[in-house]
Amino acid sequence: MTAANAAYMPKMTAYLSSVKAHSNFDRFILIYVGDEVLPEIDGVQVHRLPHSEIQAWNSNGCVQHGDWIHAEGLEVSDLDTVVFTDGDMYLQRGMNDNERKALEGLQVGEVMVGPNQFQGQTLLQEASNLGFTGKAIDGFNQERVWKLPVFNTGCIAAKVVTHKAIYQHYVQNWASFSGIFHHYAKQQWLISYLIHSLGFKVKNMKHSFHLHNHGADMPSGSRWDVRRNVLTFDGEVVLLRHFTHNGAKYPL
């Protein structure tokens, strides 16, 4: 599942084309944020999320925190596994058996997600990237909180019921939290915080499943296979290539 509004749709052309070419997910769903005419895309189920249904509005209209559950006509059960992604992706191949088993094996209260800029990056380190305002809010500004790891929630997998739990607490905290940072990516900070505070078990998302470049060098083992025009990790073609067309530093 991914989401976009009308303004962002042109930036998703490559991703949606790659889905048509490679996807072997059971379903691929686009949450269309806004009231314009729904696009028709081969191989993609499209569901509208009207602005009026968004309970925690972020400046860029991103709904990775869970507002997608209110999309019109969306049918998912609490025990379905949803992999929610950003739109600046490219699906390089279909899932392999091990990846499918890992997703199907996720339990309630487990979240599969990977590191942000580097393994072990903390919420404090990420705060410096987000334009910390210095606003003091009970619960968020404790030393133990700042030491917690931050995740890249541009690709996050969990049972729907687990997504819903994150969303419920996200909405409860959003109004007070939103003033802590200037940058729109503060969504990711709050989601990471909630994964920890709710006691969810984190299952590491392998770099061969999702590999991204957001402000840091690619991890050791990343290679760009020029002949095949694919990004690999430890020799394996990466499933979801994320943002790596923009500013990536590939070790060739």
C-alpha separations of 75 from 27, 41, 68, 111, 210 in Å: 11, 18, 11, 21, 26
Please give the radius of gyration of the chain, using alpha carbons only, rounded to the nearest integer.
18
Q: What is the mean pLDDT of residues 4-16?
A: 93
Percent of the chain with pLDDT over 70: 93
Tokens encoding 217: 């060098």
With the C-alpha atoms ordered 103, 19, 231, 65, is the resulting torsion angle positive or negative?
A: negative
The answer on pLDDT for 252 being more than 60 is no
Q: What is the mean pLDDT of residues 203-228?
A: 86
- Predicted confidence at residue 141, as pLDDT, reads 66
**Mean per-residue pLDDT over the chain, rounded:** 90
Q: What is the mean pLDDT of residues 99-124?
A: 94
* Residue-range domain boundaries for the chain: 2-96+113-242
The answer on pLDDT for 202 being more than 60 is yes
At the fourth CATH level, the homologous superfamily of domain 2-96+113-242 is Spore Coat Polysaccharide Biosynthesis Protein SpsA; Chain A (3.90.550.10)
When pLDDT is cut at 50, 70 and 90, the band that residue 190 belongs to is very high
The tens digit of pLDDT for each residue in 73-96 reads 999 999 999 999 999 999 999 999
Burial of 235 (0-12, 13-18, 19+ CB in 10 A): exposed
The closest alpha carbon to 55, from 215, 164, 132, belongs to: 164
Asked whether 150 and 188 are in contact (CB, 8 A), the reply is yes
The tens digit of pLDDT for each residue in 122-179 reads 998 888 888 888 776 676 667 788 899 999 999 999 999 999 999 999 999 998 888 8
Cα separation, 68 vs 184, whole angstroms: 18
Instruction: Write down the residue that tokens 């490219």 correspond to.
Output: 90
The closest alpha carbon to 216, from 170, 140, 150, belongs to: 150
- Residues β-bridged to residue 223: 232
- Predicted confidence at residue 216, as pLDDT, reads 63
Helix axes 160-177, 186-197, angle to 10 degrees: 120
DSSP character string of the chain: -EEEETTTGGGGHHHHHHHHHH--SS--EEEEESSSPPP--TT-EEEEE-GGG-SS--TT---TTTGGGG-TT----TTSEEEEE-SSEEE-S---HHHHHHHHTPPTTEEEEEESSSTT-BHHHHHTTTTB-----TTTS-HHHHTSB-EEEEEEEEEHHHHHHHHHHHHHHHHHHTTSBSSTTHHHHHHHHHHHHTTPEEEEPPTTTEEE-SSSPPPTTEEEETTTTEEEETTEEPSEEESTTSS-----
Asked whether 81 and 161 are in contact (CB, 8 A), the reply is no
